[in-house]
């Protein structure tokens, strides 16, 4: 179980923080030969290097497991979307990254998407334990659409091709869609049979969060300052440039 070494160790020793996240959201955050990779990983490593009083350890799991660990106060969690329910559980950082959530459909089944109501009656594929913000969660609770959960975008897109869902939500943006297709021979062979709607579901802010029981407010103030400075001086945008191509 995580905990914050500073409570047990001398003040001169770095505070050890366990942070968990999703292991299959290429190129945002994923595991490659058990090594954390991706945009959010690079942002966390940047912050880690700028905060010598802290030492970050990052472990990636299927999202549902990572979320359970964070909800149980065993770890911080990166890649967290904001919802009113989660706000009661977690203290949030400032946004680390905004990712575009694409609505992907089979060719010939495109529709004019303007807002969440346009998903009415559709079977919508998302990752297990995933969420895309408060509006999405309210619509889900009211039964506007049916949610089908899976273990990653490759599975989701194959379900879409097979007609088992009507919509696959894929992030981050076209790069995320193209990277998912490139991982699977069947998807490569049928890439022309699916398309992303012109308008995304949303630009979803991704945060670092800690359970309120861990009382990480002071850490988050310092962390937020590092993130703000990294965007203002161009350091973080430069880190992310290499992910802009499929």
The pair of structure tokens assigned to 206 is: 């991704």
Q: Which residues pair with 187 in a beta bridge?
A: none
> Which residue from 90, 91, 87, 99 is spatially nearest to 40, judged by alpha carbons?
99
CA distance 103 to 134: 17
Contact 2, 74 (CB under 8 A): yes
Contact 211, 80 (CB under 8 A): no
> Which residue from 65, 68, 59, 60 is spatially nearest to 18, judged by alpha carbons?
59
Q: Which residues pair with 103 in a beta bridge?
A: 169
- CA 97 from centroid of its chain's CA atoms: 9
State the angle between helix axes of 173-182 and 153-161 in degrees (0 to 180), rounded to the nearest 10.
80
Mean of pLDDT over the chain? 92
CA distance 203 to 95: 12
Indicate yes or no: pTM above 0.85. no
CA distance 78 to 60: 10
The pair of structure tokens assigned to 170 is: 């894929």
**Distance separating the N- and C-terminal Cα atoms of the chain:** 37
Tell me, what's the pLDDT at 7? 35
Tens of pLDDT, residues 51-70 = 999 999 999 999 999 999 99
CA distance 125 to 147: 6
Q: Which residues pair with 196 in a beta bridge?
A: 104
Contact 123, 148 (CB under 8 A): yes
pLDDT by residue for the chain (246 residues), tens only, comes to: 444 443 334 445 778 999 999 998 888 999 998 899 999 999 999 999 999 999 999 999 999 999 999 999 999 999 999 988 999 999 999 999 998 999 999 999 999 999 999 999 999 999 988 888 889 999 999 999 999 999 889 999 999 999 999 999 998 889 889 989 999 999 999 999 999 999 999 998 999 999 999 999 999 999 999 999 999 999 999 999 888 765
Q: Which residues pair with 80 in a beta bridge?
A: 207
Strand ranges inside 41-197, DSSP E? 54-61, 76-80, 90-92, 97-106, 123-127, 146-150, 167-170, 194-196
Tens of pLDDT, residues 108-141 = 999 999 999 999 999 999 998 888 888 999 999 9
With the C-alpha atoms ordered 194, 199, 200, 201, is the resulting torsion angle positive or negative?
negative
Q: Hey, what domains does the chain have and what are their CATH numbers? A: 5-97+204-243 (3.40.190.10), 99-202 (3.40.190.10)
> Which residue from 23, 20, 28 is spatially nearest to 177, judged by alpha carbons?
28
């Amino acid at each position: 179980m995580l905990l914050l070494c500073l409570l047990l160790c001398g003040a001169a020793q770095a505070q050890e923080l366990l942070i968990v996240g999703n292991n299959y959201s290429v190129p945002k955050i994923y595991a490659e030969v058990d090594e954390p990779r991706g945009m959010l990983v690079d942002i966390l490593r940047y912050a880690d290097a700028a905060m010598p009083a802290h030492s970050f350890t990052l472990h990636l799991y299927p999202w549902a497991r990572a979320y359970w660990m964070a909800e149980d106060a065993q770890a911080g969690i990166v890649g967290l979307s904001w919802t009113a329910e989660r706000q009661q559980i977690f203290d949030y950082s400032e946004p680390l990254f905004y990712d575009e959530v694409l609505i992907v459909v089979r060719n010939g089944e495109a529709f004019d998407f303007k807002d969440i109501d346009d998903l009415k009656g559709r079977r919508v594929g998302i990752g297990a334990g995933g969420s895309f913000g408060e509006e999405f969660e309210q619509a889900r609770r009211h039964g506007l659409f049916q949610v089908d959960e899976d273990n990653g975008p490759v599975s989701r897109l194959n379900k879409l091709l097979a007609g088992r869902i009507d919509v696959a939500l894929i992030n981050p943006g076209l790069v995320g869609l193209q990277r998912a297709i490139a991982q699977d021979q069947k998807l490569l062979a049928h890439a022309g049979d699916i398309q992303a709607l012109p308008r995304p579901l949303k630009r979803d802010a991704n945060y670092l969060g800690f359970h309120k029981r861990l009382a990480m407010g002071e850490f988050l103030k310092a962390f937020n300052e590092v993130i703000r400075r990294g965007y203002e001086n161009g350091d973080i945008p430069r880190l992310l440039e290499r992910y802009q191509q499929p």
